[in-house]
Amino acid sequence: MNFFPEISLSTAQAEAIARGLFHIAHSDGLHEREAALVASFWSDAGGSHNALSELSRRGPLSSEELTAVLDTQEVRRLFVKTALLLAFADGQVTGSESELVRKYAAELGLGDELNHLEEQVKEYLLGQLSHIHNTAALAEIARKLKI
């Protein structure tokens, strides 16, 4: 499984994703790891640092705008998986983050897939740690991720 398949995004799609991610990140106070994840996404999408600051201040798109801009299931899944990664970024998924991810998934027609996408994200995160030889620590992380 290719967790993040290569997807070509328009500038409008990258902006919508970044704004949605900022909305989730700000819901419980912006953590530096969350900001770094959004900045990394934005940079990979070809955005500038100045534009990122502007996007952070603009707030989320309306449901109608979001669904119009994220117009394919592939792009919508990319957004939801990235939103889930963002929620895990600071080590604590808060109720407000979880609620917003669920809201976005439902608005994008992915509500029925959300549990599956969440399992994919958890497996991806655990896979990133597979080189660690401290099995007790890995077991503890898996327990916290509820895998």
pLDDT tens profile 29-51: 888 888 888 988 888 888 877 78
For residue 146, the model assigns a pLDDT of 61
Give 97-132 pLDDT, tens digit per residue: 999 999 999 999 999 999 999 999 888 877 776 666
CA distance 16 to 9: 10
- The DSSP string of 44-67 is HTT--HHHHHHHHHH-PPPHHHHH
CA distances from 125 to 4, 13, 14, 18, 82 (A): 12, 25, 23, 21, 12
Q: Look over the chain and give the mean of its residue pLDDT values, rounded to a whole number.
A: 85
The 3-state DSSP class for residue 27 equals coil
For the chain, domain boundaries: 11-110
Q: Which two tokens stand for residue 146?
A: 């509820």
Mean pLDDT across the stretch 78-89?
92
For residue 106, the model assigns a pLDDT of 96
